[in-house]
Structure formats: C-alpha cells, structure tokens
Amino acid sequence: MSDILSLLPTISDDIQLEEFKISRKQPPRNRSQKIFIEDIPDGLPVEDIISHFGSYGNILYSKLFNKTDEEASRGSAIIEFDNNDIAMRATEDLYHDINGSKVIARCLGWRKDL
C-alpha cells in the first residue's frame, strides 16, 4: 500500500490539466419549414394564396383556418414547404400582395436568438 502512495505524487506531477470551456448555448434547432399567413381577407380564394406562395417552392401542406360555425375565413393560414430555405425566401418580405390584398407572412417556430 505504501508503494502505491509513494507513486501518487509522481503520477500527479505528470498529469497536465487542460481547461475546457463549456458553452451553455443550445445547439441550433431546425428552422421551421412552415409559415403563418395573416390578414387574409374573406373574399380571397385559397387557390390564389396557394398559387402565390407556391411560386417560392413546393408546398407540402396548407390549412386555412375557418370560423367554427361558418365557412368564412378567420384571416389566417399555415403553409408548409419542402424545406426551410423556401420558407425563409417566402418570408423575406413581410407583406405580400395577392390580387390587390396585402397579407402578412411570418415564419413559424423561429426564435430570434437562433
């Protein structure tokens, strides 16, 4: 046992401590492929919205939110694209003119600090 203890200072002298910095910042999450569209007027056909945003890239999914009892639009929709680059391009401009109506397009699920 004493032989082992006599070796400890020698071993500890040979060990070099390295300093590691640990970042608390979270790794970037996947940016969203979805955009949220708001201020859609009642008379604007869904086909026109799809056609406008489809010009940016392939649309995988779209949903227009309706009022519960009526067929009238609640003025908002979600569109999901093939990838997040398309969603980013589609939301470079906040306002989009579709047949004379201005709608707002924002990315879903994006945090400002990412």
CATH classification of the domain holding 41: 3.30.70.330
The answer to whether residue 43 is domain-embedded is yes
pLDDT at residue 79 tops 90 = yes
Average pLDDT over residues 30-34: 76
pLDDT tens digits, residue range 61-77?
Answer: 999 887 665 655 568 99
- How do residues 44-62 score in pLDDT, each as one tens digit? 888 999 999 999 999 999 9
The reported pLDDT for the residue numbered 8 is 56
Q: Which two tokens stand for residue 56?
A: 């940016």
Does 19 fall in a domain?
A: no
Residue 16 domain-assigned? no
Q: Across residues 75-95, what is the average pLDDT?
A: 93
13, part of any domain = no
HEC string of 78-89 equals EEEECCHHHHHH
Answer whether residue 51 is part of any domain.
yes
- Number of folded domains that form the chain: 1
Which tops the pLDDT comparison, 12 or 79?
A: 79
In a domain, 78, yes or no: yes
Q: In the beta sheet, which residues pair with residue 81?
A: 59
> Residue 76 forms beta bridges with which residues?
38, 65
**DSSP secondary structure letters along 30-59:** PPPSEEEEE---TTS-HHHHHHHHHTTS-E
For position 85, what pLDDT does the model report?
92
Does residue 20 register a pLDDT over 70? Answer: no
